[in-house]
Amino acid sequence: MLTARRSSRSWTSDQIESLKINFADWPTYLVAFVCGHSYSATAAKAAQLGLKKSAEFLQGPSSGRLDGKRGSACRFQKGHGTWNKGTKGVTGTHPNCRRTQFRKGDRRGAASRNYVPIGTTRITRDGMLERKITDDPEIYPARRWVAVSRLVWEAQYGVIPSGHAVVFKKGMATTDEACITTDALELVSRAELMRRNSYHTRYPKEVGRLIQLKGALNRKINARSKKA
């Protein structure tokens, strides 16, 4: 296919005159070559000037329309009936096809590889034993697992009140399911849980001071990095 010999941002009067004379009866790429513009620039300029292809050109082989209607003979016509109309599932019914088809409830990809049944237990990164309690697809995957300690407590005392949490008593934390009993657990408020997890209460006074200093140092380093 010919390409434009040169490209310019503006059209000269000679180029425009050549476009007007030749566009109707020549392929656009050839007009573009003669005018020295790209195909898209030539087509855009022709549209701007209101130029159209002639009926003779559109009926001829140079237009690319074998029947003068750009492939209309190969299109479905209104009212056309397809060969498989009304036959549900006519394709893919062979046993060899059915063997590899997805079925309702099937899991795909990673979901299939990582699937474990309800009742399975796992140990989290925080060292907490959890049990899978549902396969409900509308529940976020992490929410399908519940701490065994919570399940044990609720089985004995019912739903945990809002603003409270079940925790192990000091020195009784474990991932051994047989040892997770109500005797090893206690119900505390979230405020109390936060206080217990504070470094002021978890570590000696000297260690707590070091943690504070480390945090202050990190903040200064981050501030300097942002200014650099």
Degrees to nearest 5, angle at CA 37 with 32 and 42: 60
Q: What is the pLDDT of residues 30-81, one digit of tens each?
A: 889 888 899 999 999 999 999 999 888 888 777 766 555 555 656 667 777 7
**What is the reported pLDDT for 205?**
63
The predicted structure's pLDDT at residue 178: 92
- Give kind and range of the element (H or E) at residue 45: helix 39-49
Average model confidence (pLDDT) across the chain:
80
User: Which tokens in the block code for residue 81?
Assistant: 């009936």
- Residue 67's pLDDT is 54
Specify the pairing of strand 185-189 against strand 164-168: antiparallel
More confident residue, 150 or 199: 150
pTM for the whole thing?
Answer: 0.43
Buried b (16+ CB within 10 A) or exposed e, 55-65: eebbeeeeeeb
- The predicted structure's pLDDT at residue 4: 46
The model's pLDDT over 152-167, given as tens digits with 9 standing for 90+, comes to 999 999 999 999 999 9
Do residues 73 and 67 make contact, with C-beta atoms less than 8 angstroms apart? yes
Comparing 142 with 66, the larger pLDDT belongs to: 142
Residue 80 DSSP symbol: P
At residue 201, the pLDDT reads 57
For range 134-154, the mean pLDDT:
89
pLDDT digits 0-9 by tens, 166-207: 999 988 999 999 999 999 999 999 888 888 776 555 556 666
**What number is the average pLDDT over the span 76-104?**
67
Report whether pLDDT(116) > 80: yes
Q: What is the mean pLDDT of residues 136-162?
A: 90
- The beta-carbon contacts of 62-68 under 8 Å, at least 24 apart in sequence, are 62/26, 62/27, 63/27
Q: Smallest Cα–Cα separation from 24: which of 61, 55, 47?
A: 55
